[in-house]
Structure 1
């Protein structure tokens, strides 16, 4: 397991997220794609994972509603997968959401992304629904996890 350094960064680091995204997903997206998604959103969160000072993964999230944090997008470079980096990003996102008094963390995953489906279930997320993604022409599984709020 790689021990990644997970940093909370500002939206000024979106160019780094865009570079990572291009190496993880197709089609590539530009910075404006991320800026539009975060525009006017409460509590946007951008995390970067570093190994040996090099960015190897990211997570972008935002408030879905006052008690639910939405983990919108995860990505880990193919060369660094299966090393626990996505799990570390997920733990950091959940800790941040818990610290900001969210009761639930929600995420969606395409049905063909088996490793992410398995990871969500293994990390305590429940399946709460399914929806059709017109952009990718496939189903998304909707996951939610109750966070432990410490008063």
Structure 2
């Protein structure tokens, strides 16, 4: 595991964000189940430039973010979240920054993610505050919610 970012969150706890491999998939699945109350993380982990980030607060797993190459120009953040007890401390924002920096260093020109504003309003607000633009909106019948596509040039 390679630590890629370290800072102090507002509660004076130490936040570390690490790039982890598929050997940590069980931990990611546990976090996913607690955060989203669903078993599926992403459809497949067989992706080019797969990046899995794990956030820890004082060494305790608090959140994750997974992304991969969508095409030669765009890096796609497929899923990520923070446990409820660690929200509103800037952890999701730091995960986003680390992933965007990583994608920029790999030569990607655009960063994108989809979100469901009625299920996860915080990710919509975060994206808009961080300068993302809504590039698509549609209705997802599985989640029975509107899905927004947010994109930003890197």
- TM-score normalised over the length of structure 1: 0.89
| Other-structure match for 1:4 | 15
- 1 CA distance for matches of 2:56 and 2:95? 10
Measure how far apart 1:124 and its partner are: 1.3
Q: 1:29 and 2:39 equivalent?
A: yes
| Other-structure match for 2:142 | 135
Measure how far apart 1:131 and its partner are: 2.3
- TM-score normalised over the length of structure 2: 0.87
Q: Which of residues 6, 10, 27 is equivalent to 1:16? A: 27
- Report SS of the residue matched to 1:4: strand
Q: Which of residues 68, 90, 96 is equivalent to 2:74? A: 68
CA RMSD of aligned residues (A): 1.3
Q: Higher helix fraction: Structure 1 or Structure 2?
A: 1
| Other-structure match for 1:114 | 121
Q: Which runs of 5+ in 1 are unaligned?
A: none
Query: How many pairs align?
Result: 142
- Conserved? CA contact 2:117–2:123, under 8 Å: no
Runs of 4+ deviating beyond 6 Å: none
Q: 1:53 and 2:63 equivalent?
A: no
Q: Which has the higher contact order (CA 8 A, sep 6+)?
A: 1
Q: Which runs of 5+ in 2 are unaligned?
A: 1-9
Q: 1:101 and 2:101 equivalent?
A: no
Measure how far apart 1:129 and its partner are: 0.8
Residue by residue, what CA displacement relative to the aligned partner does 1:59-78 show, whole Å, maximum 9, x if unpaired? 01111111100001011000
- Report SS of the residue matched to 1:96: helix
- 2 CA distance for matches of 1:61 and 1:135? 21
